[in-house]
Structure 1
């Protein structure tokens, strides 16, 4: 009877600092419905008595404590009450004859024994799950759920708009929530309150508990108004630094907070010293300004090619000896790796990204 009551005490946890950051910026941070939680984190549909067995629940708890470092958060993730989790943890320590976790500064850190057990526990759970789910097939037409994605404006414009347009037809029950980047986004992803992040991965290390998928490797180009003097010059010969230096630029600032460092696209190249007329974090809005002036903007090629279809813009190769790579990537935490819905969305995004790259390569090959 007590176990039945414990199983019903399911909590939904939020990372307080990350949630506060979102709320301060006007983002409505809502608790998902039971249906959304089931769809966003669809796990294997195994028999209830197997799912409730002490061994299976202990495995899930140990892995969740490894990820969160806090027992109460592990309870939120697994749907266990704190007393039940404490009893399971004590039993696991007896089974493995090891403390498994040590307390320090308010967190629980895995012992050497627990670190060695972790991959084996993951494999044991996957093997158990596979016994009951080999025949499961994800059906987009009947799927329902919310996919929560972090993406800046050019990633949304270039990659997510084409994806959402297609998925609206193939999976009409799926909805999307898109957030701008913010400093705590990796923590929010880690705690399961976001599903995916799309941004350039160049020079950034991926945390060990995250998965990274490079969508393609491209570069930046110059975006100018149609009929710009640089357009005529580019038809005669490759552009040089001194050619482009005659014109002021719209600087695209890559930043995640108002008080943080602002990296302007182009600054990572040692030989580029653009004179900036305007700094902004919006590539799409910056393109509208460029279309009405003689200003120049450095833009990812795939984004530039799409913008030139809707605005009076020319897309030009960067100057000789200027190399500004662009490598958009997809990030997700391992807690969502086995979700059928998110696995399908990630696969569709990877395919669509490659189509976008191939189309841009035909227009302006590097």
Structure 2
């Protein structure tokens, strides 16, 4: 009769296995589980014997999972996550009791509308929390995996398997220009912007090597000249305020704060160009009440800004 791998296993060992798979480091796993490293080693030996597989092998800087361990983790994680959620749902999450520093990495094009509004919203519900917003950079995914940053907000990116992604909102493209810019229409096409240079905002990891507006114009046979690039939205705003350059952005741009600027809907082949914004965080926090709450707050702020811009356009 074949060995029953479920009934013959101490389920506490599965918890150790999942933490080891997430951390890939004995010291970090022991710290997270509040046990000694020898206890982690003993648990790993029992797991290896039980599954007849090495599970994790030592490599420079930590551990590497075997193919069997990767397959096992993918198979059991959804079930244990569901069990954890069921057991923890009785414990009410109260933002008022939070006393911690929350570090969030935000892409430049989102930061322009998120910073002040998010701070005020979080302070209303969690007055003892300190908010630290930093610019998204090429190392942000590593920083999330190392718990240096709690979560990040950015466009669609390729992300490591240790990272979880959650959809927040869908954006539509806008062209931002100075109020007395020669082009003055409710919506514009690539042909309307012919002859005008671009001031582009760099989002590290997303458009390092290309400028979407320039690509759209070139596909329609229009010469595109990127005159200015920056990771700082305010720098691009300063440039377009005093020139005929235009800044590709989205319906997230807080146009109400810039009476000297105008926002025009950008159409591609007669349709609005849409793209999504996501939050990114470590897999181990997928069911964390703090993360769930933060996602709700960030989504609420982004949607409020989009709705506000829509109201301004209709008026």
Q: TM-score, normalised by structure 2?
A: 0.81
Distance 1:208 1:331 in 2: 11
SS at match of 1:219: strand
Q: C-alpha deviations, 1:137-196, integer Å up to 9, x for none?
A: 111222222221111233122234312211112210111122222222212212322211
1:263 is matched with which residue? 210
Distance 2:54 2:200 in 1: 54
Assess if the C-alpha contact under 8 Å between 2:108 and 2:202 holds in 1. Answer: no
Q: C-alpha deviations, 1:304-351, integer Å up to 9, x for none?
A: xx1343341111122563764331111111122232222211122223
Question: Please, what is the CA RMSD of the aligned residues?
Answer: 3.1
Assess if the C-alpha contact under 8 Å between 1:239 and 1:319 holds in 2. Answer: yes
Equivalences for residues 28-43 of structure 1 within 5 A: none
Assess if the C-alpha contact under 8 Å between 1:230 and 1:244 holds in 2. Answer: yes
Assess if the C-alpha contact under 8 Å between 1:69 and 1:107 holds in 2. Answer: yes
1:109 aligns with 2:65: yes
Assess if the C-alpha contact under 8 Å between 1:288 and 1:311 holds in 2. Answer: no
Assess if the C-alpha contact under 8 Å between 1:56 and 1:125 holds in 2. Answer: no
2:166 is matched with which residue? 213
Equivalent residue in structure 1 for 2:290, among 341, 344, 347: 341
Assess if the C-alpha contact under 8 Å between 1:188 and 1:194 holds in 2. Answer: yes
Distance 2:251 2:227 in 1: 22
Q: Across the two proteins, how many residue pairs are aligned to each other?
A: 301
Equivalent residue in structure 2 for 1:312, among 233, 242, 260: 260
Q: 1:99 to 1:122 in 2, by over 3 A?
A: farther
Assess if the C-alpha contact under 8 Å between 1:212 and 1:331 holds in 2. Answer: yes
Distance 1:129 1:289 in 2: 49
Give 1:286 shift: 0.9
Equivalences for residues 274-289 of structure 1 within 5 A: 274-289=224-239
Per residue, is there more strand in 1 or in 2? 2
Q: 1:274 to 1:192 in 2, by over 3 A?
A: same
Distance 1:128 1:241 in 2: 51
Distance 2:46 2:138 in 1: 38
Per residue, is there more helix in 1 or in 2? 1
Distance 1:79 1:122 in 2: 23
Return 5+ residue gaps in structure 2 as ranges: 1-8
Q: 1:321 to 1:120 in 2, by over 3 A?
A: closer
Give 1:200 shift: 0.9
1:84 aligns with 2:39: yes
Return 5+ residue gaps in structure 1 as ranges: 1-53
